[in-house]
Amino acid sequence: MTCPSPSAMPPAGRRPVDRFTEVADAATRAYRRLPAAARTDPPPAVTGPRGAAQRINTGPDTVERDLVKLVLTLVELLRQLMERQALHRLDAGDLTEEQEEHLGSTLMILHDRMIELCARYDLSLKDLNLDLGPLGTLLPPSD
């Protein structure tokens, strides 16, 4: 399926043939309304009861560290989700005692590895918690 060119758009007053064309037309109209000049000023910092939002500022000198931070953030999110799922399974009684031991030791080893990787790149687990603005933080507060 190909994208229609702006010249292939239907005349005003005529409905687009399909939903894809309708969305493409809307995107084209919105794009044309954007200012042509590149923005040189950084966006204003959001302040409020939680303080300024933390943003990732990538540059040629910090690209490796920023990429590692992003990957470790995703791994930490998955680790915490697995930990919660394991707790639910423990509470439900779905695991044998041997499985409980294996799962617990695996999660502890993964947590230790995360701390080691963070230390290698001069990060802490708190650095991995992204601020999602009005939604709050990505990771729950650590206990």
**Could you tell me if 18 and 75 lie in one domain?**
no
Query: Average pLDDT of the chain?
Result: 74
Please say if the pLDDT value at position 68 is more than 90.
Answer: no
pLDDT, one tens digit per residue, over 95-116 is 899 999 998 899 999 999 999 9
Same domain assignment for residues 83 and 31: no
Residue 70 lies in a domain: yes
- The reply to whether 8 falls in a domain is yes
Same domain, 30 and 78: no
Residue numbers of the domain that contains 14: 1-35
pLDDT at 139: 80
Report if residue 56 sits inside a domain: no
Within a domain: 52 = no
Are the beta carbons of 125 and 69 closer than 8 angstroms?
A: no
Percent of the chain with pLDDT over 90: 13
Q: Flag whether 110 is in a domain.
A: yes
Is 77 within the bounds of a domain?
yes
Total domain count, the chain = 2
Partners of residue 137 on adjacent β-strands:
131
In a domain, 50, yes or no: no
Q: How many CB atoms lie within 10 A of CB 137?
A: 14
d(CA 71, CA 24): 33
